[in-house]
Protein backbone atom coordinates (compact mmCIF):
# COMPACT_ATOMS: atom_id res chain seq x y z
CA UNK A 1 0.00 0.00 0.00
CA UNK A 2 1.26 3.49 -0.87
CA UNK A 3 0.68 6.86 0.71
CA UNK A 4 0.01 9.99 -1.35
CA UNK A 5 0.63 8.52 -4.84
CA UNK A 6 0.29 5.19 -6.64
CA UNK A 7 0.34 3.98 -10.24
CA UNK A 8 -3.30 4.97 -10.78
CA UNK A 9 -2.91 8.57 -9.57
CA UNK A 10 -3.59 10.95 -12.52
CA UNK A 11 -0.92 13.67 -12.56
CA UNK A 12 -0.52 16.94 -14.44
CA UNK A 13 2.65 19.04 -14.65
CA UNK A 14 2.34 22.80 -14.30
CA UNK A 15 5.14 24.15 -16.46
CA UNK A 16 5.39 21.03 -18.61
CA UNK A 17 6.73 22.91 -21.65
CA UNK A 18 9.53 24.52 -19.63
CA UNK A 19 13.06 23.14 -19.40
CA UNK A 20 12.74 21.71 -15.88
CA UNK A 21 9.09 20.76 -16.09
CA UNK A 22 9.57 18.95 -19.39
CA UNK A 23 12.72 17.17 -18.27
CA UNK A 24 11.16 15.77 -15.10
CA UNK A 25 7.81 15.04 -16.76
CA UNK A 26 9.63 12.72 -19.17
CA UNK A 27 11.42 10.93 -16.33
CA UNK A 28 8.16 10.57 -14.42
CA UNK A 29 6.46 9.02 -17.44
CA UNK A 30 9.41 6.69 -18.04
CA UNK A 31 9.10 5.52 -14.44
CA UNK A 32 5.45 4.66 -14.96
CA UNK A 33 3.73 7.67 -13.42
CA UNK A 34 0.27 8.28 -14.84
CA UNK A 35 1.00 11.73 -16.29
CA UNK A 36 -2.20 12.73 -18.07
CA UNK A 37 -1.29 16.21 -19.26
CA UNK A 38 0.31 19.52 -18.51
CA UNK A 39 -0.40 23.22 -18.09
CA UNK A 40 1.35 26.20 -19.67
CA UNK A 41 -0.63 29.43 -20.14
CA UNK A 42 -0.82 30.32 -23.82
CA UNK A 43 0.22 26.85 -24.98
CA UNK A 44 -3.16 25.15 -24.73
CA UNK A 45 -3.86 22.80 -27.62
CA UNK A 46 -0.25 21.72 -27.98
CA UNK A 47 1.12 18.27 -27.10
CA UNK A 48 4.09 17.20 -25.01
CA UNK A 49 5.35 13.63 -25.44
CA UNK A 50 1.85 12.57 -26.46
CA UNK A 51 0.19 14.36 -23.53
CA UNK A 52 -2.19 17.31 -23.99
CA UNK A 53 -1.19 20.78 -22.83
CA UNK A 54 -3.83 23.11 -21.38
CA UNK A 55 -3.94 26.83 -20.65
CA UNK A 56 -5.28 26.38 -17.12
CA UNK A 57 -5.41 23.78 -14.39
CA UNK A 58 -9.21 23.82 -14.34
CA UNK A 59 -9.32 22.89 -18.04
CA UNK A 60 -6.75 20.15 -17.47
CA UNK A 61 -8.71 18.68 -14.56
CA UNK A 62 -11.97 18.85 -16.49
CA UNK A 63 -10.47 17.02 -19.47
CA UNK A 64 -8.26 14.47 -17.70
CA UNK A 65 -9.64 13.97 -14.20
CA UNK A 66 -6.25 14.81 -12.68
CA UNK A 67 -6.02 14.82 -8.88
CA UNK A 68 -2.25 15.34 -8.49
CA UNK A 69 0.00 18.10 -9.79
CA UNK A 70 3.71 18.83 -10.04
CA UNK A 71 4.62 22.52 -10.01
CA UNK A 72 7.85 23.28 -11.86
CA UNK A 73 7.65 27.01 -12.56
CA UNK A 74 9.89 29.95 -11.58
CA UNK A 75 9.59 31.37 -8.07
CA UNK A 76 7.83 34.52 -9.28
CA UNK A 77 4.87 32.43 -10.46
CA UNK A 78 4.92 29.49 -8.04
CA UNK A 79 2.56 30.81 -5.36
CA UNK A 80 -0.05 31.67 -8.00
CA UNK A 81 0.41 28.20 -9.48
CA UNK A 82 -0.40 26.70 -6.07
CA UNK A 83 -3.59 28.78 -5.82
CA UNK A 84 -4.57 27.78 -9.35
CA UNK A 85 -4.01 24.10 -8.59
CA UNK A 86 -6.20 24.24 -5.49
CA UNK A 87 -8.96 26.21 -7.23
CA UNK A 88 -8.80 23.80 -10.16
CA UNK A 89 -9.59 20.82 -7.97
CA UNK A 90 -6.13 19.29 -7.43
CA UNK A 91 -5.90 17.40 -4.13
CA UNK A 92 -2.14 16.76 -3.92
CA UNK A 93 0.31 19.43 -5.06
CA UNK A 94 4.07 18.86 -5.20
CA UNK A 95 6.04 22.11 -5.57
CA UNK A 96 9.67 21.77 -6.64
CA UNK A 97 10.30 25.51 -6.84
CA UNK A 98 12.81 27.13 -4.47
CA UNK A 99 13.34 30.79 -3.47
CA UNK A 100 9.63 31.51 -3.00
CA UNK A 101 9.30 34.37 -0.46
CA UNK A 102 8.25 33.21 3.02
CA UNK A 103 5.44 35.79 3.13
CA UNK A 104 3.92 34.31 -0.04
CA UNK A 105 4.20 30.75 1.24
CA UNK A 106 2.52 31.59 4.54
CA UNK A 107 -0.56 32.71 2.62
CA UNK A 108 -0.40 29.84 0.12
CA UNK A 109 -0.08 27.13 2.80
CA UNK A 110 -3.02 28.59 4.72
CA UNK A 111 -5.12 28.61 1.54
CA UNK A 112 -4.26 25.01 0.68
CA UNK A 113 -5.30 23.86 4.15
CA UNK A 114 -8.48 25.95 4.07
CA UNK A 115 -9.53 24.25 0.83
CA UNK A 116 -8.75 20.74 2.06
CA UNK A 117 -5.89 20.02 -0.35
CA UNK A 118 -2.35 18.93 0.48
CA UNK A 119 0.91 20.62 -0.53
CA UNK A 120 4.30 18.89 -0.50
CA UNK A 121 7.12 21.45 -0.47
CA UNK A 122 8.08 23.92 -1.77
CA UNK A 123 11.79 23.41 -2.45
CA UNK A 124 11.41 19.65 -2.17
CA UNK A 125 12.35 16.53 -4.18
CA UNK A 126 8.77 15.26 -4.20
CA UNK A 127 7.15 11.89 -3.56
CA UNK A 128 7.91 8.40 -4.86
CA UNK A 129 6.23 5.05 -4.30
CA UNK A 130 8.82 2.55 -5.58
CA UNK A 131 7.66 0.45 -8.48
CA UNK A 132 4.51 2.52 -8.95
CA UNK A 133 4.90 6.27 -9.44
CA UNK A 134 6.90 9.35 -8.64
CA UNK A 135 6.04 13.04 -8.64
CA UNK A 136 9.15 15.19 -8.57
CA UNK A 137 12.86 14.64 -8.98
CA UNK A 138 13.63 11.58 -6.81
CA UNK A 139 15.71 9.18 -8.97
CA UNK A 140 13.76 6.00 -9.61
CA UNK A 141 16.90 3.88 -9.28
CA UNK A 142 17.27 4.48 -5.53
CA UNK A 143 14.10 2.67 -4.48
CA UNK A 144 12.54 -0.77 -4.44
CA UNK A 145 9.12 -1.89 -3.18
CA UNK A 146 9.05 -2.84 0.47
CA UNK A 147 7.87 -1.87 3.94
CA UNK A 148 9.99 1.11 5.10
CA UNK A 149 8.58 4.62 4.96
CA UNK A 150 11.05 7.47 4.41
CA UNK A 151 10.38 11.13 5.21
CA UNK A 152 13.08 13.75 4.70
CA UNK A 153 13.86 17.44 4.56
CA UNK A 154 16.77 16.85 2.20
CA UNK A 155 16.73 15.52 -1.33
CA UNK A 156 20.35 14.38 -1.24
CA UNK A 157 19.86 12.51 2.05
CA UNK A 158 16.75 10.88 0.62
CA UNK A 159 18.72 9.54 -2.33
CA UNK A 160 21.66 8.39 -0.23
CA UNK A 161 19.57 6.56 2.35
CA UNK A 162 17.21 5.12 -0.25
CA UNK A 163 20.13 3.65 -2.16
CA UNK A 164 21.68 2.27 1.06
CA UNK A 165 18.40 0.59 2.01
CA UNK A 166 17.82 -0.89 -1.45
CA UNK A 167 21.38 -2.18 -1.62
CA UNK A 168 20.61 -4.16 1.54
CA UNK A 169 17.34 -5.48 0.09
CA UNK A 170 15.28 -3.30 2.44
CA UNK A 171 12.47 -1.92 0.26
CA UNK A 172 10.30 1.12 0.83
CA UNK A 173 6.60 1.94 0.79
CA UNK A 174 6.91 5.65 -0.06
CA UNK A 175 9.55 8.39 -0.04
CA UNK A 176 8.27 11.84 0.98
CA UNK A 177 10.59 14.84 0.64
CA UNK A 178 8.90 17.59 2.63
CA UNK A 179 11.41 20.34 1.78
CA UNK A 180 13.74 22.47 3.86
CA UNK A 181 12.13 25.91 3.69
CA UNK A 182 10.91 27.67 6.85
CA UNK A 183 7.26 27.38 5.69
CA UNK A 184 6.14 24.12 4.07
CA UNK A 185 2.82 22.51 3.32
CA UNK A 186 3.36 19.10 4.91
CA UNK A 187 5.34 18.43 8.09
CA UNK A 188 7.19 15.49 9.58
CA UNK A 189 4.21 14.86 11.86
CA UNK A 190 1.78 14.78 8.93
CA UNK A 191 3.82 12.09 7.18
CA UNK A 192 4.59 10.12 10.34
CA UNK A 193 0.85 9.89 10.95
CA UNK A 194 0.31 8.58 7.40
CA UNK A 195 2.98 5.93 7.85
CA UNK A 196 1.63 4.96 11.27
CA UNK A 197 -1.79 4.41 9.69
CA UNK A 198 -0.43 2.57 6.64
CA UNK A 199 -0.67 -1.21 7.23
CA UNK A 200 2.09 -1.91 4.71
CA UNK A 201 4.67 0.31 6.44
CA UNK A 202 6.48 -1.59 9.21
CA UNK A 203 9.18 0.96 10.10
CA UNK A 204 10.07 4.56 9.33
CA UNK A 205 13.19 6.60 8.54
CA UNK A 206 13.24 10.31 9.43
CA UNK A 207 15.96 12.48 7.88
CA UNK A 208 16.27 15.95 9.36
CA UNK A 209 18.71 18.80 9.68
CA UNK A 210 19.57 21.78 11.83
CA UNK A 211 17.25 24.78 12.09
CA UNK A 212 13.73 25.19 13.47
CA UNK A 213 12.00 22.66 15.71
CA UNK A 214 10.26 20.33 13.27
CA UNK A 215 12.32 17.34 14.41
CA UNK A 216 11.65 18.12 18.07
CA UNK A 217 7.91 18.26 17.40
CA UNK A 218 8.26 14.99 15.47
CA UNK A 219 10.03 13.41 18.45
CA UNK A 220 7.13 14.34 20.71
CA UNK A 221 4.67 12.82 18.24
CA UNK A 222 6.73 9.64 17.95
CA UNK A 223 6.91 9.30 21.72
CA UNK A 224 3.16 9.71 22.21
CA UNK A 225 1.65 8.14 19.08
CA UNK A 226 4.00 5.95 17.03
CA UNK A 227 3.93 2.18 17.48
CA UNK A 228 6.36 1.47 14.64
CA UNK A 229 10.15 1.68 15.05
CA UNK A 230 11.79 4.86 13.78
CA UNK A 231 15.43 5.44 12.81
CA UNK A 232 16.75 8.92 12.11
CA UNK A 233 19.69 10.99 10.95
CA UNK A 234 20.19 14.71 11.64
CA UNK A 235 22.51 16.60 9.28
CA UNK A 236 24.52 19.62 10.38
CA UNK A 237 26.34 18.59 13.54
CA UNK A 238 29.38 20.65 12.56
CA UNK A 239 27.50 23.71 11.28
CA UNK A 240 28.64 27.05 12.79
CA UNK A 241 25.91 28.88 14.79
CA UNK A 242 24.15 31.74 13.04
CA UNK A 243 25.06 30.67 9.49
CA UNK A 244 22.52 29.21 7.08
CA UNK A 245 23.58 25.84 5.72
CA UNK A 246 22.01 24.84 2.41
CA UNK A 247 18.26 25.09 2.97
CA UNK A 248 16.58 28.34 3.90
CA UNK A 249 15.41 26.83 7.19
CA UNK A 250 18.77 25.32 8.13
CA UNK A 251 20.11 27.92 10.53
CA UNK A 252 20.93 27.62 14.23
CA UNK A 253 20.42 30.53 16.61
CA UNK A 254 22.24 29.80 19.87
CA UNK A 255 21.16 26.33 21.00
CA UNK A 256 17.78 26.60 19.23
CA UNK A 257 17.58 24.20 16.32
CA UNK A 258 20.97 22.58 16.89
CA UNK A 259 21.70 19.00 15.88
CA UNK A 260 22.47 18.11 19.50
CA UNK A 261 19.09 19.37 20.69
CA UNK A 262 17.24 17.40 18.03
CA UNK A 263 19.21 14.20 18.52
CA UNK A 264 18.57 14.33 22.26
CA UNK A 265 14.82 14.80 21.71
CA UNK A 266 14.63 11.92 19.24
CA UNK A 267 16.63 9.55 21.43
CA UNK A 268 14.44 10.43 24.41
CA UNK A 269 11.46 9.36 22.26
CA UNK A 270 13.02 5.97 21.60
CA UNK A 271 14.32 6.76 18.12
CA UNK A 272 17.62 5.23 17.06
CA UNK A 273 19.75 8.06 15.65
CA UNK A 274 22.50 7.25 13.17
CA UNK A 275 25.92 8.88 13.24
CA UNK A 276 25.93 8.86 9.42
CA UNK A 277 23.31 8.06 6.76
CA UNK A 278 24.89 4.72 5.81
CA UNK A 279 24.19 3.44 9.32
CA UNK A 280 20.38 3.62 8.87
CA UNK A 281 19.99 0.07 7.44
CA UNK A 282 21.93 -1.40 10.37
CA UNK A 283 19.75 0.44 12.90
CA UNK A 284 16.57 -0.85 11.25
CA UNK A 285 17.90 -4.39 11.01
CA UNK A 286 19.02 -4.61 14.63
Q: Which domains occur in the chain, in start order?
A: 11-120 (3.40.50.720), 139-285 (3.40.50.261)
Q: Which helix (H) or strand (E) holds 174?
A: strand 172-177
pLDDT greater at residue 240 or residue 236? 236
Kindly give the pairing relationship between strand 92-95 and strand 51-54. unpaired
Are 84 and 55 contacting, i.e. CB atoms less than 8 angstroms apart?
A: no
Give the HSE-up count for residue 281: Cα atoms under 13 Å, Cβ half-sphere: 14
Distance CA 125, CA 106 (A): 20
The distance of Cα 81 from the centroid of its chain, to the nearest Å, equals: 18
Section 218-235 average pLDDT: 97
Percent of the chain with pLDDT over 70: 92
Which one is catalytic: 68, 99, 147, 247?
A: 247
Task: Tell me the pLDDT band of 286, cut-offs 50, 70 and 90.
Answer: confident
For residue 242, the model assigns a pLDDT of 54
Q: pLDDT tens-digit profile of 88-121?
A: 999 999 999 999 999 999 999 999 999 999 999 9
How far is residue 220 from each of residues 189, 194, 224, 271, 275, measured CA to CA in Å? 9, 16, 6, 11, 21
pLDDT > 90: percent of the chain? 90
Confidence check: pLDDT of 160 > 60 = yes
Cβ-based neighbours of 207, under 8 Å, separated by 6 or more: 150, 151, 152, 153, 154, 157, 158, 161, 232, 233, 235, 277
Does residue 247 have an active-site annotation?
A: yes
Average pLDDT, integer, range 234-244? 64
The alpha-helical segments, DSSP class H, found in 88-213 are 102-114, 155-167, 188-197
Per-residue model confidence (pLDDT) at position 142:
97
138 — pLDDT class (breaks 50, 70, 90): very high
Amino acid sequence: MAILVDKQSPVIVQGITGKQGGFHAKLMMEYGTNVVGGVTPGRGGEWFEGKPVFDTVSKAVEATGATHSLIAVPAAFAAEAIYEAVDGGIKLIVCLTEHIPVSEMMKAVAYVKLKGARLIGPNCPGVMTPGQAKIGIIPGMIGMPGHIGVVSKSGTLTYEVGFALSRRGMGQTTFVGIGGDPVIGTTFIDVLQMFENDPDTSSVVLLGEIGGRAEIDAAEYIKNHMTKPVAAFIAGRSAPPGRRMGHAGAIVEGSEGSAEEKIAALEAAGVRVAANPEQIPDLLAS
